[in-house]
Structure 1
Amino acid sequence: MGALHYFFLLYILAYLVGYQIVWAHRYVLSAVPKGSLRVSLQAPSQRTPSGLLPYCDTYNGNATSLKRYPCTYYDQNFVLLPSNIGDNSMFITTRITESNQDLMPNCSIEEYNCSYVTLSNHTTYIPDIEDFTVLLDHFMFTVQPDYQALGRQLSGKIVGSDGKEIPLSPGEVVGVKDEYDILKVSTILKAAGVKSLDEPAYNDTDSKRYQGLVLVLLVNYTNMHTFSLSKLEYFFSAIVIDGAFFKFEQTIYSKSIEERVVWNRHGIRLVIIPTGNYGAFDFQTVLVTFVSGLGLVSVSTAVVEVIALWVIPQKKRFRKEKITETSLKPD
C-alpha cells in the first residue's frame, strides 16, 4: 500500500508541475488583450491588363464559366468605403452596379406617390483587388495585469487555417520592428482558406467577387508560448463567415435631387479583432495552484486508506495495525 500511496504522490506532483505549471501556465494571471488599430488601403503600382483577367469582358484567353463584366481601374480612394473611426474594419469593393435614376415625369419629391425610376444599370469589376495592400498599425493593452504594447515593436507572422506560417511576397511586412504591417488582400484570403474570389459564393452560382464576403482577421497577441513572459509576440489568422455577404448602396446626386446615381457596392468586409492571451507572474495564482495540489494529496491518502482498511484481503491486519485499542484503568 505504501507503493500505491507513493504512486499517487508522484502522479500528483507530475500533474502539478507538468500540466498545471508547464502546460497550463497556472503560475500567471492571464487576460485577453484588447486593442485598436488604424487601417488603410493602397492600390498596386502596376495593374494587370483586362485582357489577361478571366473575369473581365475583354478577356482574350480560353473560355471559362465565369460571368464577365467590364473592368474599371478605380484606385483605393474609390475602392475603399470609409468606415467609422474606431470601427476596426474596412470595406473593399470588388463589384459596383451603377443605376441611373430619375424621378417619375411630372412628379415632385413632396408627393407621396412619387418615386425614382431606374433608367439604366451598369455593372463593373475592380481588377487586381487581390494585389491591393492593407496597412495595419495596431496596439494592445490589458487592465489586469496592467500592460500595453505597440504592434510595430513586436515580432509577428501570419498563419493559415492549418496553423502553418504563410510566406510573404515582396512588399509585404509582418512583425518587423519599427515598421507597419502590410499585407496583400490575396494573403489575407489565403489565411482564411479562400483560394480565389472567382470560386462560387456560399450556396450560390455567383462568385465571391460578384457577391462579396465577410472576413474576420484576428490579431492574436500572446506571451504564453515560452517560459519567457517578457517575450510578447503576435500572429494574424483569418476566417471567412460562410453564407455572409456584404453590400452597401451609395447614393450620388448630380445637379438636382431629381437625378441621382446609386452605386450598389459588393466586396470584402474585413473585420479586424484583437485577441489572444497575455499573462504575468502572480504569487496568489501560484498559491492557489499548490493549495489545490495539497487537496489532491489528502484525497489520495484517503483513497489509499479506504483500500487498505476495507477492500484488500489483508484489511483486518491493516485495521489492527492502524487502530490501537487502549483502556484507561483507575490508579
Structure 2
Amino acid sequence: MAVQYPSDGSNFAFFTTRASILHYSNQPGCNSLRVSSPADPCFFKPTNNNVTILPKSYIADIEDYTVMIEHSIRGHATSIAIRNGVMDGELVSFNGTTIRKITNATRMASNPYAAGDIFTVQEILTAAGANLDAPSTAPGANKAAGETFRSSGIVIVIIIEYKNVAFKKDTLSYRYLPQVIDGNEYKVVENIYNTTDGSFTFIDRHGIRLVFQQHGTIGEFQFIALLTSLIASLALLVILYYY
C-alpha cells in the first residue's frame, strides 16, 4: 500500500497515517458492474460479507518521510516566469521564525538531482505547529477515547508567498507559510475493482492533507512607466499651483 494517495496531484498532497483494508467478494452469479438499480439483489452493499485484510493500522515513522515541492510563478502584467529551483526561499514557522533557508547550495546538498525543495513531514508539521499525537480538535473525532490527529487526520494549508528581491533585477524570493486548519480532519476511501473476480477492495485512509496556495506581489522596473509617472506628477503640481 502506497503512503501517498493519489500518487501525484496539483496544489495538494495527501499522506496516509492510518489505514484499514476490507475485501468484498462478489456475490455468486452476480456482476455488480451490470447492476442498474439498488433493488437488484446483486447491488453492492457494504453490509455484504467482507474479509478484513488489514485492521486499523498506523504507518510507522511517517514523520521521517520526505516531500519534494516544485512550484513556479508567472507575472500577470510582466514577462517574469520562474520556477522555485532557481530562486531562494525559506520555510517559516507559524510564529514567524525561520526554520530553514533554501538556496541552490542547500538543494544540491540534500540531493544533487533535486528539482524542488525537499522537506521531511516532521519539518512541515513543526512549521505548522502540529503534533500528530495531540488530541484531535475535529468535531467527528472520538474525544472520549482520546483520538489523535494521527488517527483522525489533519489539514495543513501552506501559503507560498513571492516577492521581489530589493535592488536585484528580475530576482524573486519566496516563503512557505504552513498553518493548521483547526477542527478539520481528513479521510479518503480508495475503491479498487478487481477485474479477475469482480470483487472490491476498500482502503480507508486517514492522514495529512497538504493544500498549497500561491500569492504575492511581483514586478519589474520599466523606465517608460517611471518617466510617465514623473511627467504626470509634474503636470499635477502645475495645475495645483495655478488653482
Q: Shift of residue 200 of structure 1?
A: 1.9
- Deviation of 1:227 (Å): 4.1
8 Å Cα contact 1:97/1:124 also seen in 2: yes
Aligned partner (choices 14, 26, 48) of residue 91 of structure 1: 14
Which has more strand, going by share of residues? 2
Q: Which residue of 2 aligns with 1:159?
A: 92
- CA deviations 1:134-180 (Å, max 9, x no partner) are 11233222131111223122221100122210148xxxxx3225743
* CA displacement at 1:228 relative to structure 2: 3.8
Aligned amino acid, residue 160 of structure 2: V
Counterpart for residue 216 of structure 1 = 157
Q: CA deviation at 1:82?
A: 2.4
Query: Are 2:175 and 1:235 aligned?
Result: yes
SS at match of 2:85: helix
Which among 118, 124, 127 is matched to residue 188 of structure 1?
A: 124
The 2-side partners of 1:164 and 1:286 are apart by: 40
Gaps of 5+ in 2: 109-113
C-alpha separation in 2, matches of 1:118 and 1:296: 84
The alpha-carbon distance between structure 1 residues 300 and 260, as it changes in their structure 2 partners (threshold 3 A), is same
Cα distance in 2 for residues equivalent to 1:160 and 1:301: 55
Q: 1:198 to 1:148 in 2, by over 3 A?
A: same
Q: Deviations over 1:1-35 (max 9, x none)?
A: xxxxxxxxxxxxxxxxxxxxxxxxxxxxxxxxxxx
**Cα distance, 1:289 vs. partner?**
8.0
Q: Is the 8 A contact 2:22 2:50 kept in 1?
A: yes
> What residue is the counterpart of 1:176 in the other structure?
104
Corresponding residue of 1:80: 4
**Which letter maps to 1:141?**
R
> In 2, distance between residues paired with 1:129 and 1:94?
7
2:136 to 166, 180, 201: 201
Cα root mean square deviation, aligned = 3.1
Distance 1:104 1:155, change over 3 A: same
Please give the secondary structure, in 2, of the residue aligned with 1:210.
helix
Q: Is the contact made by 1:229 and 1:279 (CA closer than 8 Å) also made in structure 2?
A: no
- Pair 1:143 & 2:82 matched: no
The one-letter amino acid paired with 1:266 is H
Instruction: Tell me the equivalent position of 1:321.
Output: none
- Which residue of structure 2 aligns with residue 284 of structure 1? 225
Instruction: Give deviations 1:194-225, integer Å, cap 9, x for gaps.
Output: 1x11112224322111111222222222115x
Give distance in 2, aligned partners of 1:130 and 1:296: 62
Report Cα offsets for 1:17-63 as digits up to 9, x if no partner: xxxxxxxxxxxxxxxxxxxxxxxxxxxxxxxxxxxxxxxxxxxxxxx
TM-score norm. by structure 2 comes to 0.74
3-state SS in 2 of match to 1:238: strand
Question: Match for 2:212: what amino acid?
Answer: I
One-letter amino acid of the structure 1 residue matched with residue 148 of structure 2: S
**What SS does the corresponding residue of 1:280 show, helix, strand or coil?**
coil
Give distance in 1, aligned partners of 2:163 and 2:60. 37
How far apart in 1 are the matches of 2:21 and 2:13?
21
Q: Could you tell me how far 1:293 is from its partner in structure 2?
A: 9.2
- The higher radius of gyration belongs to 1
Q: Structure 1 residues 128 and 150, CA, compared in 2 at 3 Å: closer, same or farther?
A: same
Q: SS where residue 144 of structure 1 aligns?
A: coil
Distance 1:300 1:91, change over 3 A: farther
Structure 1 unaligned runs (5+)?
1-73, 169-173, 303-331
- Superposition deviation, residue 128 in structure 1: 0.8
The SS at the match of 1:189 is helix
The TM-score with structure 1 as length reference comes to 0.56
